Each structure stands twice: as C-alpha cells, then as structure tokens.
Structure 1
Amino acid sequence: MNIAPNSHSRTRKRLMAAAASVAIAGAIGFGAVATGTAPVLAEAVRVEAPQV
C-alpha cells in the first residue's frame, strides 16, 4: 500500500481541527454548568424611552 505523504498531513490537520472544536464546545458547556446558566439565544431588545 502506497500512501502519499500529504495524506497523513491532511488527516492529522483534520483530526486536530476536530479535537480543537470538541475542546471549545466542552469548555463552553463546562462554563454553562459551572455558572448554572446556559447560553441564551434571544433577539436584541430596543427600548425607545427618554433617559431621565
């Protein structure tokens, strides 16, 4: 079996990218659990009232 040298490099880069994304997602999840809050997906609210 002949495997091109670039094949290992591409596979390794993809695995590293996948591991990094899993680590980031895990850190976000751990932060939400540690603070007792979950990320909120809400629309911005605009208040039009004079400031006193």
Structure 2
Amino acid sequence: MFYQRWGIFILVIATLVVSTMVGVFNSLVNNIYSKRKEFAVLRAKGVTFS
C-alpha cells in the first residue's frame, strides 16, 4: 500500500512536470514564429537592419 501511494504520487508529479515543459516549449515556439512574422513584415516594408 505504501509503495502504491508513492507510485501514484510520483506519476502525478511527473505528469505535472511534463505538461509544464510542453507548455513552455509551445510558448517558445509561438514566440519564435511571431518574431519571424514581424521580421517578414519589416522586410516587406523595406526596413534595413544594420
């Protein structure tokens, strides 16, 4: 019974950590894509980066 409770506890903690990591990764990917769109718009307008 003791090991079963600890197993469930570790499983829940691991699920929380994995879902948090997926959320952070998804946020970073969305940020990168929005920056790419922003640079594409600036390039289309003829803004130079120097």
Scaled to the shorter chain, the TM-score interval is 0.5 to 0.7
Question: C-alpha separation between the residues in 2 aligned to 1:15 and 1:31?
Answer: 25
Identity of aligned residues (%): 11
State the match for 1:10 in structure 2. 20
Q: TM-score, normalised by structure 1?
A: 0.61
Report the TM-score, using the length of structure 2 for normalisation. 0.63
Unaligned runs of 5+ in 1: 39-52
Partner of 1:27: 37
**Cα root mean square deviation, aligned:** 1.7
1:14-52 deviation digits (Å, cap 9, x = unpaired):
0000001101111110101111125xxxxxxxxxxxxxx
Structure 2 alignment gaps of length 5 or more = 1-9
Moved over 3 A (4+): none
